């Protein structure tokens, strides 16, 4: 359960676990990896729940993707204003450019 909950906002946890099981360090996070994960989560949420619910989910969960990252607090502050998919994408892209 704990891995599953963490995986929502930090999908590379599986890469890290696999590395630990092999006794190897996980490779560094690739540039844009978090942005791609956030965009994919948004896309899947829209497809599954529709735009309105997906935006509500992103307001709640987008911060999970940025926990512990420089600039993450700024993004988490901006998520309250998400009312459309375009706003969510703009916020994600702005965060990625600012990192």
The span from the CA of 49 to the CA of 27, in Å, is 34
Specify the pLDDT at position 43. 96
pLDDT tens digits in sequence order for the chain, 99 residues long: 567 777 877 888 888 889 989 999 888 887 788 889 899 999 999 999 999 999 999 888 888 888 777 888 888 888 888 889 999 999 988 888 875
User: Are the C-beta atoms of 92 and 58 separated by less than 8 Å?
Assistant: no
How far is the C-alpha of 74 from the C-alpha of 6, rounded, in Å? 21
- Smallest CA-to-CA distance from 38 within 78, 86, 93 is with 93
Predicted pLDDT of residue 28: 82
Contact yes or no for 59/82 (Cβ under 8 A): yes
The predicted pLDDT at position 30 comes to 78
Taking CA atoms, 54 is separated from 60, 61, 69, in Å, by 10, 10, 23
């Amino acid at each position: 359960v704990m891995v599953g909950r963490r995986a929502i906002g930090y999908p590379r946890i599986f890469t890290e676990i696999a590395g630990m099981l092999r006794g190897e360090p996980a490779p560094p996070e690739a540039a844009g990896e978090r942005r791609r994960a956030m965009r994919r989560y948004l896309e899947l949420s829209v497809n599954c729940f529709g735009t309105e619910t997906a935006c509500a989910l992103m307001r709640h969960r987008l911060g999970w993707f940025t926990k512990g990252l420089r600039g993450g607090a700024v993004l988490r502050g901006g998520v309250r204003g998400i009312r459309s998919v375009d706003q969510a994408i703009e916020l994600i892209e702005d965060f990625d450019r600012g990192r």
